[in-house]
């Protein structure tokens, strides 16, 4: 049945002469609409109503007799029906007897005995090669015996995974054997490991450690002695106080000390002056040309000046003709390797670092040669000695084997700048003609 809501609102009519509720088409149509809607609802209700014959079969009341357990149902037309629920058969209590049987006591006092075995089934557990059962009282445990699981019992993906592990293990075994062979090669050398094994580098380290007949100069012992010598030269330079007496010198001619002995510059000057004063040169011994062959003759001053000017011009021409080429510019430190294209096509190398202009090196750029650049003097009032050495280890490749600077401080202490120092250098070379 459809649900209806209120749809009509009545008009509050007012008497004449008020015109608020005058009769017009709107209010008449409102009345007509209300009547039409009520008519439609009456028709709908008539169509939705229940038939009396159907309604008469509907339940009017239900009553229960608690004493007898009889249920009485009364319909709308007065018809009654009764139903006996047998409540006297309902279980009122239960218990277990001495035989562990279930005893049910009914509402009417009668009893029913039911064996508990009726409620359960008996199961037997049998052991096999795959699984074994153990009983301990009421506790049953199951376990898989050793070797009880075979490949046939494994799920396909598990079996595939195990097989993949086997393949990986075989591959790892091969890689481990190869790694062991490589480790042996890198340790002691062998075919394919020439020049890269630890044994090779140990031999090289031993070879560069001390002076040998095969390498009298290219080793640490030689460089240490060379550095000590340079340090002594720098120390002497630092001890100079501006007088000739403070400068040490070797007496080659034996003028003051034994030939080859050590003296100072002032003493040598005095000895030379004494020779000049006490042994004047005879005028006949002064030669004004470069053709004299007799020992003891002295070169004329004008001829000496001409010879010096010729020598200076020749040296200037040689410098201008050197046509030096910049081969490398960058930072280097000990053990670095630098590449110089066409190195074998140059000689008369010249090197400068970020503090000093180091002397040249008249060595060809072929494999095996050592380019050695040294400088001793004063920088900012301090005595210094610098040394940079390159070994041509292979074609067009220089390896830094020595890079050291020795300073003499203001209090005459010797200060070493280690092999690890980094230097900005420029390297020039003169092309071979």
Residue where one domain finishes, among candidates 263, 289, 320: 320
On the question of pLDDT at 266 being above 50, the answer is yes
Span 169-192, average pLDDT:
84
Q: Residue 297 falls within a domain, yes or no?
A: yes
Domain of residue 84, residue span = 59-114
DSSP state of 212: -
Span 115-119, average pLDDT:
81
Q: Residue 404 falls within a domain, yes or no?
A: yes
On the question of pLDDT at 433 being above 70, the answer is no
Query: Does 340 lie in the same domain as 314?
Result: no
Query: Does 426 lie in the same domain as 297?
Result: no
Which residue blocks in 49-153 are alpha helix, DSSP H? 52-56
Query: Does 421 lie in the same domain as 278?
Result: no
**C-alpha 111, offset from chain centre:** 86
Query: Does 326 lie in the same domain as 217?
Result: yes
Query: Does 316 lie in the same domain as 347?
Result: no
Query: Does 327 lie in the same domain as 311?
Result: no
Enumerate residues 6+ apart whose C-beta is below 8 A from 331: 422, 423, 424, 425
Span 267-271, average pLDDT:
67
pLDDT score at 131: 92
- Total number of domains constituting the chain: 4
On the question of pLDDT at 320 being above 50, the answer is no
Backbone angles phi, psi at 268, to 5 degrees: -65, -40
Span 210-235, average pLDDT:
63
CATH number at residue 346: 2.60.320.30
Backbone angles phi, psi at 62, to 5 degrees: -130, 130
Percent of the chain's residues with pLDDT above 90 = 12
Q: Residue 407 falls within a domain, yes or no?
A: yes
Tell how strand 101-106 and strand 111-115 pair up: antiparallel
Span 400-420, average pLDDT:
71
Q: Residue 237 falls within a domain, yes or no?
A: no
Q: Residue 26 falls within a domain, yes or no?
A: yes
Residue where one domain finishes, among candidates 320, 347, 380: 320
pLDDT digits (tens, 9 = 90+) for 270-315: 665 565 445 544 455 555 555 555 655 555 556 556 655 644 554 4
Whether residue 17 is preceded by a cis peptide bond, meaning omega within 30 degrees of 0, is: yes
Query: Does 396 lie in the same domain as 313?
Result: no
Query: Does 347 lie in the same domain as 219?
Result: yes
pLDDT score at 268: 62
Q: Residue 231 falls within a domain, yes or no?
A: no
Query: Does 307 lie in the same domain as 327?
Result: no
Query: Does 98 lie in the same domain as 76?
Result: yes
Q: Residue 210 falls within a domain, yes or no?
A: yes
């Amino acid at each position: 049945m459809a649900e209806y809501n209120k749809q009509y609102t009545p008009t509050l009519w007012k008497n004449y002469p008020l015109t608020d509720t005058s009769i017009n088409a709107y209010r008449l149509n409102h009345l007509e609409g209300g009547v039409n809607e009520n008519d439609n609802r009456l028709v709908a209700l008539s169509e939705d109503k229940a038939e009396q014959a159907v309604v008469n079969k509907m339940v009017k009341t239900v009553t229960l007799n608690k004493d007898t357990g009889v249920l009485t149902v009364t319909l709308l037309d007065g018809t009654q029906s009764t139903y006996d629920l047998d409540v006297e058969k309902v279980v009122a209590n239960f218990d277990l007897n001495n035989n562990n049987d279930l005893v049910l006591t009914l509402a009417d006092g009668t009893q029913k005995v039911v064996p508990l075995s009726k409620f359960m089934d008996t199961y037997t557990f049998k052991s096999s090669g795959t699984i074994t059962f153990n009983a301990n009282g009421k506790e049953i445990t199951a376990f898989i015996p050793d070797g009880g699981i075979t490949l046939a019992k494994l799920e396909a993906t598990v079996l595939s995974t195990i097989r993949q592990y086997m393949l990986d293990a075989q591959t790892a075994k091969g890689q481990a054997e190869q790694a062991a062979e490589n480790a042996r090669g890198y340790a002691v050398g062998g075919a394919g490991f020439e020049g890269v094994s630890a044994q090779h580098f140990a031999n090289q380290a031993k070879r560069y450690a001390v002076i040998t007949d095969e390498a009298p100069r290219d080793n640490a012992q030689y460089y240490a002695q060379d550095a000590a010598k340079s340090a002594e030269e720098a120390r002497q330079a630092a001890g100079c106080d501006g007088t000739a007496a403070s400068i040490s010198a070797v007496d080659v001619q034996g003028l003051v000390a034994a030939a080859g002995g050590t003296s100072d510059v002032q003493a040598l000057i005095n000895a030379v002056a004494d020779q000049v004063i006490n042994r004047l040169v005879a005028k006949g011994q002064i030669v004004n040309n470069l053709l004299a062959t007799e020992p003891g003759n002295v070169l004329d001053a004008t001829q000496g000046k001409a010879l010096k000017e010729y020598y200076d011009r020749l040296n200037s021409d040689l410098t201008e003709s050197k046509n030096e080429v910049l081969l490398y510019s960058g930072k280097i430190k000990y053990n670095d390797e630098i590449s110089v294209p066409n190195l074998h096509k140059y000689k008369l190398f010249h090197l400068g670092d970020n503090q000093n202009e180091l002397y040249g090196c008249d060595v060809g750029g072929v494999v095996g040669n050592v380019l050695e650049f040294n400088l001793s003097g004063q920088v900012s009032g301090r005595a210094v000695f610098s040394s940079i050495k390159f070994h041509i280890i292979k074609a067009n490749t220089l390896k830094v084997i020595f890079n050291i600077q020795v300073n003499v401080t203001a209090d005459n202490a010797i200060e070493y700048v280690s092999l690890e120092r980094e230097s900005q250098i420029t390297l020039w070379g003169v092309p071979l003609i």
